Structure 1
């Protein structure tokens, strides 16, 4: 009887896990299968589950509608933003974690609240500034704007990682004649790499997926992939196949990046959970 009672909750947990996985995976399944359907098949009701797949939507989206160019734009913007956020954010996080100086609490509060500001509030001011400076439809405009939102993420996460590193290591290295920069680079940074990896993943995903600023501040040259996907939704004849094909192409790099950094992601998110 005890074995039966133990086995019953186990099967219940497995069933619940299967339901959760199905709910999470089904939208991706629907997106990918729709991208492989012709326009006629995609509009059929009830939905067609068995069909002959076609890559026509991908071919048209990539080479005829210019989605390939927007994917390259998104990749360049996301990589540059993430790199700048790490280059600027990691030293700032080290300073906030290791030094005491006047205005430190105010500076920390400013970094945190800067990330909490709703982007829609800043959309019009950013647009007016970019227009007056002649920076509309420029890659650098999106990079700088995304940096304002990604930099607080990096500082927030990495500062907490640096704070978890014992000060005794700094003092021992200082006795050996190591400079403060050497201590950060050779001792603290390797120990804080899980947090750096997590912040890099978050920064890349935000920059890659961001839609609003990409839609408002770009036209053709710097248009991002999410903005391109939305541009298909015009008029009454929606090309569902091309929209889903573009969406699939947008998701693939994020999945690859997350899989490559999954080990560091799990370590960074769980560090400090168990002492």
Structure 2
């Protein structure tokens, strides 16, 4: 039996967590504060970091000069669309890898995962040429396909482990009772995997929501997303840090709130299968 942890141990753990929390939240706090400042207040020095007169001029400016709502809608459609496609196809592929034994299964699983290993910039030129030929440039469908190609290996990798953690006897019992294999997946497996699916979906949405490279290369105006709009406030003459901060808040807050609301599903989903009988 392990000896109980000493008081000094828990004090050290608390101090480490507090320091980590401060360093983690400080950039977000500074982003929030800067979005309510003017350019002059940002350059005023350390004394005006938290003592200033807040203003909404930066938010007013970015919405008046840029189609922020249109780009926010594009970001939402592309993120949700790529996540749905990745979950549907990725979960089915993961089920095949987890439940069926066939020649080359491990090699296939590695090949799928290897797509996520190389830098996205390597595939940028081939994807651009293919999309140009197929008239998919500057379209939301093109971005959804591009994001799905990189989300899919992650979904297959994660869901394979989660499916393996669910006893196959549950599905076999359902099929003995007259259920088809697809019916057993729908009625037995998917309800058990719901927290894990939500957790994986959160990661996919975050990746798609924040993705910059393909959004920059594959879009021009119609399908432009928010991450591409933020660098446009950086010009040759000056950097509009207050506008960058305001646009950054518009980009960060929706996915941050979504992650907070879905936090319990993320913890439950990612811990699934961690405890073995």
Same-fold call, TM cutoff 0.5? yes
How far apart are residue 6 of structure 1 and its match?
A: 4.0
Residue equivalent to 2:238? 237
Q: Which residue matches 2:38?
A: 38
Deviations 1:30-70 (A, max 9, x none): 11111100111112224513111111111211232222221
Q: Would the alpha carbon gap of residues 100 and 248 (structure 1) be closer, same or farther in structure 2, given more than 3 Å must change?
A: same
Per the normalisation by structure 2, the TM-score is: 0.92
1:222 counterpart residue number: 223
Which residue of structure 2 aligns with residue 96 of structure 1?
A: 97
Deviations 1:123-164 (A, max 9, x none): 111122222333221111110010001111111111111111
Which 5+ residue runs of structure 1 have no aligned equivalent? none
Residue deviations 1:194-228, cap 9 Å, x none? 22112111110100000111111111111110111
Secondary structure in 1 matching 2:116: helix
TM-score, normalised to structure 1's length? 0.93
Bigger mean CA offset, 23-32 vs 105-114: 105-114
Cα separation, 1, equivalents of 2:167 and 2:99: 10
C-alpha distance in 1, partners of 2:87/2:94?
10
SS in 1 for 2:115: helix
Q: In the alignment, which residue of structure 1 is the partner of 2:263?
A: 262
Task: Indicate the residue corresponding to 1:68 in structure 2.
Answer: 69
Aligned-partner SS, 1:178: coil
Once the two structures are superposed, what CA deviation does each residue of 1:200-258 show, in whole Å capped at 9, x if it has no partner? 11110100000111111111111110111122222121111110001111111111111
- Structure 1 window deviating more from structure 2 (95-104 vs 246-255): it is 95-104
Counterpart of 2:208 in structure 1 is: 207
| Other structure's SS at 2:72 match | helix
In 2: Cα distance, 1:238 partner to 1:68 partner: 23
Aligned residue for 1:116, secondary structure, equals coil
Alpha-carbon contact 1:157-1:196 (below 8 Å) kept: no
Alpha-carbon RMSD across the aligned residues, in angstroms, is 1.7
Q: Secondary structure at the match of 2:55?
A: coil
Is the Cα–Cα contact under 8 Å of residues 165 and 272 in structure 2 kept in the other structure? no
Counterpart of 1:192 in 2: which secondary structure?
helix
Per mean C-alpha deviation after superposition, the further-off stretch among 66-75 and 123-132 is 123-132
1:177 Cα deviation after fit: 1.2
- For residue 16 of structure 1, what is the aligned residue in structure 2? 16
Structure 1 runs, 4 residues or longer, greater than 6 Å off: none
Q: Is the 8 A contact 1:94 1:184 kept in 2?
A: no
Of 211-220 and 84-93, more deviation after overlay is shown by: 84-93
Superposed counterparts of 1:1-275, under 5 Å? 6-48=6-48, 49-275=50-276
Indicate how the Cα distance of structure 1 residues 27 and 7 shifts in structure 2: closer, same or farther if over 3 A, else same. same
